[in-house]
Amino acid sequence: MGPKAIDLFAGAGGLSLGLTYSGIEVVGAVEWEEKATTSYKYNIGDHIICEDIKKFEPEKMERFLKKTGAIKSKKEIDIICGGPPCPGFSLIGRSKISNLIKTGEWQGSDFRHSFIDDERNELFLEFVKYVDFFEPKVFVMENVAGMKSYLSSGNAPIIDIINQEFESLGYKVNVKILNSANYGVPQSRERILFFGTRMKKEFSHPKGFEWANNIQDAFSDLPEVNPIDGKPKSTKLKLMKDIKGKRRKKFINWSRLQSVPIKRKRQHRDCTLHNTRKVNPRDQAIFPLLTSGQFSERILYKHVFPDLLKEVKRLLPKEFKMLPKSKEYLIVAKDPEDTRKWKWYDPSKFGDKMRRMRLDSPGPTVVAHLAKDGYMFVHPTENRTITVREAARIQSFPDSFDFSAGGKVAFSHQMRQVGNAVPPLLGLAIGQTIMTYLGLEISLSLEEVFGLKNPSLTV
């Protein structure tokens, strides 16, 4: 077996999945959200604990791993990884010196303490505690790329403060912003990664490809979806002979054929989770007016309302009408017994509320907000928002990954899980870099996924 890892804040398991493909054995994981845990167990394994990490201390994880037979000693844990949620990183305020300082548990500058004492960053501290307890050879912590520009109230760079915490534990930290699009993921998604190691050997970040997959690469074999009911018109993926482009075929083959750790029988042409929200009457008239900018000038929501209301009125389904300006242009049914109505968003506040994606470039960053609506992800050629499967393809999840966990997880939770996940192909790039660093043989490399000869992405 490969080196053993613990995944903290694991979500549905995007990072665990990528690490597993590279040859790393993820033996423990922690996630507080029940539905995400359900999906993780269904697809990856039952080594995940559904618990608030503040209540599941590293000592409890050690006992759990020994009980399951995953380890005999905590020294067997080679890797700690995960991405602590980051609400406190965007606005760091100075708070009073906490009990951490009073007890002398933490050492360092006052700026450093004003960061670690901020209750919004307690989850970061939990990650530090796990690293401190297990003393892994390597840790990987990922977060929002914008963290690089954040300062504490004393103008100390947050990155420096984080580095000091890990350096105080004896780790050398290497920080870099990675874009998923450089690793075969058809999505522009920047994340900052902290690689820490106790070993003297120099650590190198993954070196990406010089090309990027785009939305057309991800969607080419998916059947059309009926915008009225949000369901696919076919339950089968298109034939591979109809797909053009060598690299596109490689990505689609990855999507169709790659299995997840919990293997289940499935037909590789089965199209699953390819469903989305029904398109309401107002949006049935708005979506056709949106353009991505690929073939003509880009048109967003702010260009539609209020400047294109005549066109909206013309495109409304015949059973609906638009009320006059005095009634705020509400969209209502002509049938008086149908009391539904659709308002308009303020274009000065929600100018890009609705936008169409381009086929010829990587997709925008998939976000958890998809659980509420998909307006920022209108399909490139169809007048609807994207499906769960399309969102998963943009994130590079293989089709074998079932975010519904066999029907146990509802649509909105599936979308949230996809949006919160680390793209598995980025996880694979991270995993193979760790494996190379540790001098171990990689089980699967990104180069193999795309049929390239170079066995490693590391520089």
Q: Are 142 and 422 in contact (CB under 8 A)?
A: yes
Hey, CA dihedral for 51, 54, 60, 65, is it positive or negative?
A: positive
Tokens of 298: 């880009």
Q: Is 86 a catalytic site residue? A: yes
- What is the C-alpha to C-alpha distance for residues 78 and 207, in angstroms, rounded to an integer? 23
Using CA of residue 417, residue 419, residue 420, residue 423, what is the dihedral sign?
Answer: positive
* Residues marked as catalytic: 86
